[in-house]
Amino acid sequence: MTVKTTLSFTDRHHQFLSEKVGQGVFATQSAAVAAALEQMMQDEQERDVALSALAQEIRARMETPRDTFIDQDDAFAAAHRTIRAARGA
């Protein structure tokens, strides 16, 4: 279903849309706006998935018993060794 609506743009935005249509990137200005909205919707969905995964990871880590925590020196020891080796130390 297509819904007809009226939108207002700044001169800059209107010029950009007109150029993209003129270059054949989009068939119409409406198609360009629809593509931008689709990208925004996809970005929002991806952001929601990432935030959900992050929240799940935080919850899992909060349930980790303290006695299983890894000391920061141990956690980064391999990285420090690699850096020292690369520096020739």
Q: Which two tokens stand for residue 40?
A: 């925004």
**How many percent of the chain have pLDDT more than 90?**
82
Q: How many angstroms separate the CA atoms of 59 and 8, rounded?
A: 44
Stated pTM of the model: 0.65
Q: What is the pLDDT of residues 40-50, one digit of tens each?
A: 999 999 999 99
Size (the chain), residues: 89
Q: How many angstroms separate the CA atoms of 10 and 22, rounded?
A: 18
Q: What is the pLDDT of residues 3-32, one digit of tens each?
A: 999 999 999 999 999 999 999 999 999 999
